[in-house]
Amino acid sequence: MWLGPAISNAQFEVGLEVFEAFAAVQPEAASAFEPSPYRLDHYMADIYRLARLRLERLGIYQVSGGHFCTACEPRFYSHRRDDGQTGRMASVIWLR
């Protein structure tokens, strides 16, 4: 399994309700959130960590990738970074 480009935890701020929703379904998901340095009751969410936790729950442990940030690397399209401009990204998925 390979995790493609996504927004990094340094760029992805979510509210308390998102933190609580993930923690309610999978308590160990709380480890993927850190308090936001910008706003009270907000968190910086590590969606790569959240994906890995969900995959592990399904018995998938061989996971690669998860090292690219679409918000801070200009080679990727980012709705947040590009102030609402549209763009396209594609994924290719196959089974061996």
Distance from C-alpha of 37 to C-alpha of 68, rounded to nearest angstrom: 22
Contact 36, 9 (CB under 8 A): no
pLDDT for 51 = 95
pLDDT for 27 = 95
DSSP one-letter code for 38: S
Residue 6 pairs with which residues in a beta bridge? 69
pLDDT for 75 = 82
Percent of the chain surpassing pLDDT 90 = 57
CATH of domain 1-96: 3.60.140.10
Query: Which residues of the chain carry a pLDDT beneath 70?
Result: 86
Record the tokens describing residue 82, joined without a space.
Answer: 């590009």
